[in-house]
Structure 1
């Protein structure tokens, strides 16, 4: 039981064994380690490109979590029969778990594999990404986020392009938000999966920009009806605009309600191209 509790929340197993001081020490160390993974992005969004930093930070977190679990097991062995104290109550543990999720004591990262090319060129098939669940995040999903979404029991990765109240339409391959076509600059051409594609850099109203791929501006989903996003919902697209099933396909996909937004993508932690390991998708 002590090991299981320590797996869920750092230090909780030690508290269960009647070692509150030890539990507090492990909590403090964990709280200090967690920000190491986020620190680069506070200075520079592209700082995750330094693979050594993300690798060392994650290794430190994994080692710390393993140490906490092993320590809980050793403490439980030496403690013997437990004498329940006032804090050995389920509601105390539940409260600590809730606080721990806010502080990052509960494992704050999830990993997903990318199975398709719908988010190319930002994410490629075979990539593994590290994500921050929105339930443990300090902010809501934002326009521009690359997000893991859950639809009909299946996880997808898409980019948020609009939120509740926005009007969205594709006109001649151009993404239009609230009647204004987003600026789009041609970057170059790309041979992708034996198909000639055109790369563009698309800019959001807040200045954030990212690359998208187009086969042409005359494909099936390049001209759509106008969609008004319901409140507490999101409109998501794939960056590979002519090879993505997304919110443009209303009958099969449609708007994403807030409860379908699972996590935002932070970093590529593994890729077939080693040069992309540790990079932050735009």
Structure 2
């Protein structure tokens, strides 16, 4: 009985140590995330699994599992750069994780005019690279124009717009102090900072981390992980360890 009890105790300790180490790594260094929606296509696809660095912008209560109120504000804060792809907690409930691209910094003025994005009264440069791309909006395939977009700091990335440019004009958004304005790269299929009642401006304390690279990707429309006979079609090997820009 003593041997059995010792064996049980040692295994419990090992599991506790492993759990503590896992929580520490997840909270301080890296956290994996799964992409469930098409709002960031073509940059991120449904089924992408990626790593987010927690230390990139410092730490808040949202850096830890279940967002415990262990301290207020943000520690070791590093300002994010315009164009970063960032995971954040939505202001509506401070619980749901969203991933979008940072467009507006505190004090910026942002507006869509005739489907063109303006930042501080200057139109964001974009050049069309394709007129025949098909991507997803939820489970629906949509035809889009694909653009190379360039922000004032030189950050370049691809965005897509519906061919009828469904989101054409907006109010003028002025980003408050200590807040940020986010957009999805799939511009006509993204719930983001344009929708003030559900997302809106995101406080710096709600930032979770910076998306760095994809470590695994599979197309769930073809088959799930357990359907190994479909792996040759569903697993996207070309996206493994792809850096997120």
Please give the TM-score of this superposition, normalised by the length of structure 1.
0.62
Q: Hey, what does 1:195 align to over in structure 2?
A: 142
CA RMSD across the alignment: 2.4
Contact 1:165 1:230 in 2 (8 A): yes
| 1:155 CA displacement | 0.7
| 1:7 CA displacement | 5.3
Q: Superposed, which structure 2 residues align to 1:39-118 within 5 Å? A: 108-118=29-39
What is the distance in 2 between the residues matched to 1:5 and 1:202?
Answer: 46
**Whose relative contact order is higher, 1 or 2, with alpha carbons under 8 Å and at least 6 apart?**
2
Contact 1:182 1:204 in 2 (8 A): yes
- Is the counterpart of residue 216 in structure 1 residue 163 in structure 2? yes
Q: Hey, what does 1:135 align to over in structure 2?
A: 58
What is the distance in 1 between the residues matched to 2:51 and 2:148?
Answer: 24
Q: How many residues are paired up? A: 190
Contact 2:133 2:145 in 1 (8 A): yes
Larger radius of gyration: 1
1:178-208 Cα shifts (integer Å, max 9, x gaps): 0001100001131224321110011010111
* Correspondence for 2:124 among 182, 185, 199: 182
Unaligned runs of 5+ in 2: 1-11, 60-75, 219-235
Q: Hey, what does 2:153 align to over in structure 1?
A: 206
1:200-253 Cα shifts (integer Å, max 9, x gaps): 01101011110001003631x331011110010000000000000101111221
Distance 1:232 1:215, change over 3 A: same
Q: Hey, what does 2:85 align to over in structure 1?
A: 146
Distance 1:263 1:106, change over 3 A: closer
Secondary structure of 2:43's aligned partner: coil
Q: Hey, what does 1:119 align to over in structure 2?
A: 40
> Which structure is higher in helix share?
1
